[in-house]
């Protein structure tokens, strides 16, 4: 049970694909101009990562070490193709929204990275959970990035939501006359906002470490007297 908790924490925070590993930046920067696009790509990524980890974990005993990379690439590319076709055929309405993002996922090296680093060495359940959690880590970061870029760049929230929920509307937060802040929508804006987010994560981690150090110091001081009590 503890191992699974570790996987969840690693995926969403400690080993976060974007904030910690800085992997998969190409789709991240390309699709995060609005919140709805960002989350759509993220959800499709979860699906593919979960499937890739599941299949590779199941096949891992058949794949010789020397050819693991070509084998992984082959499996991931086929899976993405199959998911793309199946979505298009059976869930066409959803495909119209997510469809353009699915082939993009092949370019996301985080999929290959997790397959190589985790699924090739771990069991089915743990690997599937790892794939899903790495995807969740991707979703919340790309979603937040999209939220910030969209707000700063266009002064709206959730624009494009009507593609997913036809009756919903984008929220115009800043007045209509807001001229927009173009750089936030263009690729440099993605780098800038991402830079601030990574700095924020590092700051939070540094603060947490500092607190833990303080806590340990406080624990150690009185321990000299109360060591026997603490057992």
Partner 1 sequence: MTESNSSYQEPGALRVALRTAAILLIFMLVFTALMAGTYRITAPMLEASAQAERLRVINEILPAANYDNDVLRDQVLVPADAALNNASVSVVYRARQKDKPVAIVVEATALDGYSGQIGLLLAISAEGRILAQRVIRHKETPGLGDYIDPKKDRNKQRPWINQFNQVGFDEVPFKQWRVKKDGGRFDQMAGATISARAVTNASARALLWVNQNRETLFSLPVGSRLEPVK
Binding interface with partner 1 (CB under 8 A):
33, 62-64, 66-67, 70-71, 74-75, 78, 81-82, 85-86, 88-90, 92, 153-154, 176, 180, 182, 185-186
Which lies closer to partner 1 via its Cβ, residue 92 or residue 213? 92
Beta strands (DSSP E) in 75-203 are: 156-157, 171-172
Q: By the 8 A CB rule, do 146 and 33 touch?
A: yes
Q: Which is nearer to partner 1, 171 or 182 (CB)?
A: 182
Q: By the 8 A CB rule, do 112 and 73 touch?
A: yes
CB of 97 to partner 1, least distance (A): 13
Question: Could you give the CA distance from residue 133 to residue 154 in angstroms, rounded to a whole number?
Answer: 31
- Work out how close the CB of 38 gets to partner 1 at its nearest, in angstroms, rounded to a whole number: 13
Output 55 or 136, the one with its CB closest to partner 1: 55
Distance CA 140, CA 55 (A): 25
Residue with tokens 């076709």: 85
For residue 214, the minimal CB distance to partner 1 (Å) is 46
Q: Which of 188, 5, 16 is nearest to 110 (CA)?
A: 16
Shortest Cβ distance from residue 163 to partner 1 (Å)? 9
Q: Toward partner 1, which CB reaches closer, 12 or 57?
A: 57
């Amino acid at each position: 049970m503890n191992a699974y908790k570790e996987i969840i924490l690693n995926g969403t925070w400690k080993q976060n694909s974007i904030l910690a590993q800085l992997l998969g930046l190409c789709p991240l920067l390309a699709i995060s101009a609005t919140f709805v696009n960002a989350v759509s790509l993220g959800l499709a990524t979860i699906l593919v990562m979960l499937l890739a980890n599941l299949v590779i974990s199941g096949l891992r005993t058949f794949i010789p070490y020397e050819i693991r990379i070509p084998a992984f690439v082959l499996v991931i590319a086929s899976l993405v193709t199959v998911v793309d076709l199946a979505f298009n055929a059976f869930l066409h309405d959803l495909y119209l929204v997510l469809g353009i993002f699915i082939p993009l996922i092949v370019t996301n090296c985080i999929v290959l990275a997790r397959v190589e680093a985790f699924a090739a060495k771990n069991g089915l359940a743990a690997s599937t959970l790892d794939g899903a959690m790495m995807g969740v880590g991707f979703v919340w970061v790309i979603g937040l990035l999209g939220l910030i870029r969209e707000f700063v760049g266009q002064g709206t929230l959730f624009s494009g939501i009507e593609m997913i929920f036809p009756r919903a509307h984008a929220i115009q937060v800043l007045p209509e006359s807001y001229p927009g802040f173009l750089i936030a929508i263009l690729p440099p804006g993605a780098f800038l906002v991402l830079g601030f987010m990574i700095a924020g994560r590092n700051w939070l981690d540094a603060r947490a470490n500092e607190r833990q150090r303080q806590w340990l110091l406080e624990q150690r001081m009185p321990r000299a007297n109360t060591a026997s009590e603490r057992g």
